[in-house]
Amino acid sequence: MSRLSCRGRRFVSAVLPLLFGLCATPPAEANPPAARPRWRRVYLDDAVAGSALRDALADAAQRLENDRCRSIFAAPDFVDGSGRPLADRLASLGMDPAEYLSIIVFQDGTGARRCQETALAFTEPGSRIVYVCSQRFRSEWRANTRYARATVIHETLHTLGLGENPPSSQAISETVLSYCYR
């Protein structure tokens, strides 16, 4: 048997660990695909507001796993335009609240008139597009994260058909805070 030169031994000692590393079974993922964030429908120009919104979506999904929070869809004043409870509307889609959150599109609404007023976000009843007032949302996130997070559930109720006036925007937000953030 021939002995490897010093140079050959260094080569082998450098390459073998790489080969074994490539052949070894990879460790289990810490964040498997099913648990990865599903907030791919967030289209905000402001990266900070986008990150805050994704955090608010994850928080909303987690809170909606709680029975008390989830029961907001059956709140007596929260019905669609035909008087049907929002819980029925959600059930007709065959989705749980967290799944439903993942199909809503969050679009930057910065230039819209409603963003020049006091809104953090807005939509039309029954629309699956929510327009986010990025600068206002970012400011509210820094000042009152709890309220900014509650805005996601507030707007989700509108996407299921809840109108406004009545109930007022303030009444909707207070109900969301009462059901989900206390």
pLDDT single digits (tens) 42-83:
999 999 999 999 999 999 999 999 999 999 999 999 999 999
Sign for the CA dihedral angle at 57, 58, 60, 65 comes to: positive
d(CA 145, CA 160): 24
- Each residue of 88-118: pLDDT tens digit? 999 999 999 999 999 999 999 999 999 999 9
Domains of the chain (ranges; CATH) run 35-180 (3.40.390)
